Structure 1
C-alpha cells in the first residue's frame, strides 16, 4: 500500500513552529531591502559658464550663463532708485552691461572684476543677474574715458557703455520721483533723454534751475527704458552746465 505524503501547505499548517520560523525569516529580510534602496543616479554635471567678451556675452540668449571680465563704470547702488537693486555696470574693450545684484558690493568705479551670471532684460535693458559668489575682484584698477557720442546716436550700439553727450536743453526738468528726474538735450543730431536717478545724489533744485537753451555736458551710462534710450549720469560730477 503506497505511503501518503502531505502537501507542503498542509505540512505547514500542521507544524506551527515551522510556520513561525519562516515568518520571522521573511520579516528579517524585507526591512533590509527597505532600508537599503537602490541609490538614485547622480544628476548630470552642469557645463561651466562660457567666458566671453561683453559684446559676445550680450548676444547670447536670455537665460544663458556667462562669465565676463571688465572695469566697473557705475558704482554699486548708484541706480537703485529706478532699477530697484544694488547693481553696477562693467565694461571691457568691446561693450558694457549692467549687473543686477540684490546685495551691495563694496568696490567702486575702476575696479577690475570677473562676473558669472545669467543674461536677462529689464524693460529692454540688457542685464546680467549675479550673486555675490559669482563676483570676483581682480588685481588693479583702471580709469575708462567715456566715448563721445552725438545725442542722436545714443542707441543699442552704445547701450551698457560709459558715454558722453552734450547739447542744449530742449525740455526742462521733469519730476519722475521716486525713480528719477528727466531732462532732454539735443546737439542738432536728435533729442536724447537724460535720466537722473534719485539715488545718484543730485540736488533737485539745481536740476530745476537749468533753463531751456542752456548747454550741458553729460557723462553717463548708456541705458534703455522700453523704447526710450537715455543717458544716466552716475553722480553730480557727471553733469556740467556750460
Structure 2
C-alpha cells in the first residue's frame, strides 16, 4: 500500500513590525482607559472649576433629591470617598450601577458636587450595592461628606416642615445632634414623619451632605429610616 506523500511542515506566519506596534497601541489604550479615573477623595480636594473623571458605584439613585437640589443627579462612591453628581436629564440606571463621569468640580450651598452632562456619563459593566458606613451623629462632618452613612439616635426636636424642599428631623446618640433632611422627592409619607415624637430612637441611612454650615443625613427612600425599639 502506498503511503500518502508527507506534506512539508510550514512555519506559522510571523507578525509584521507594524502589527506588533498596533497591538501594543491597543494594549496601551486599554490600560489608559482603566486608569484615567481619579480616586474620588483626591477629586474632591481639587480646585473648584477643575475638570475631572471619577468612577464608582451609585449610592443615591438619580432624581431622589430633586426637590431640594433642583436637578436629577445621583451620588457616586468608590473605595476612597463619595460625591454628588449634578445633572439633567434623569438617568435610567439605579443603585449599585458602575458609572464613570467626567465633569467640573463645584459647590452648591457648600456641598461638594461634580457638575456633568449626560453625554459624559458612561455606564460600565458590573453592579455592586454600596454599603453604608456606621458613623456617630456627632461625626457627620466634612470627612464623610458625599458618602453613604448610617446613624442612630434619639429624636431631639419635633418634626419641621420645610416643604416644598423637604422635612427636618434631629437625632443624637450622645455625641452631638445631627439634622436628618428628608427630601420631598424621596417618597416619604409626611403624615408618618409627623407622628414621630421626641425621644423615639431612629436608624437613618443616607447621604452625608451639607447645606451651608449645617451637616446633615439625607435618606434616599422610606426604607432608609426605621424606628428602633
Q: Report whether the alignment pairs 1:64 with 2:59.
A: no
Give the alignment of 1:49-128 within 5 angstroms: 51-128=37-114
Give the alignment of 1:182-221 within 5 angstroms: 182-221=168-207
How far is 1:51 from its partner?
2.9
Q: Partners of 1:173 and 1:232 in 2: how far apart?
A: 15
Contact kept, 8 Å, 2:58 with 2:129, in 1: the verdict is no
The Cα RMSD (Å) is 0.6
Residues 182-216 of structure 1, C-alpha deviations (whole Å, 9 max, x = no match): 00000000000000000000000000000000000
Q: Partners of 1:190 and 1:145 in 2: how far apart?
A: 23
Query: What residue ranges of structure 1 are gaps of 5+ in the alignment?
Result: 1-49
Give the alignment of 1:140-155 within 5 angstroms: 140-155=126-141
Higher CA-based Rg: 1
SS in 1 for 2:124: strand
Give the alignment of 1:162-241 within 5 angstroms: 162-241=148-227
Residues 51-83 of structure 1, C-alpha deviations (whole Å, 9 max, x = no match): 310000001100000000000000000000000
Q: Partners of 1:234 and 1:143 in 2: how far apart?
A: 14
Count of residues in correspondence between the two structures = 193
Partner of 1:160: 146
Q: Partners of 1:178 and 1:213 in 2: how far apart?
A: 26
SS in 2 for 1:156: coil
Query: What residue ranges of structure 2 are gaps of 5+ in the alignment?
Result: 1-35
TM-score (norm 2): 0.84
Q: Partners of 1:68 and 1:76 in 2: how far apart?
A: 17
SS in 1 for 2:119: helix
Runs of 4 or more off by more than 6 Å in structure 1?
none
TM-score (norm 1): 0.79
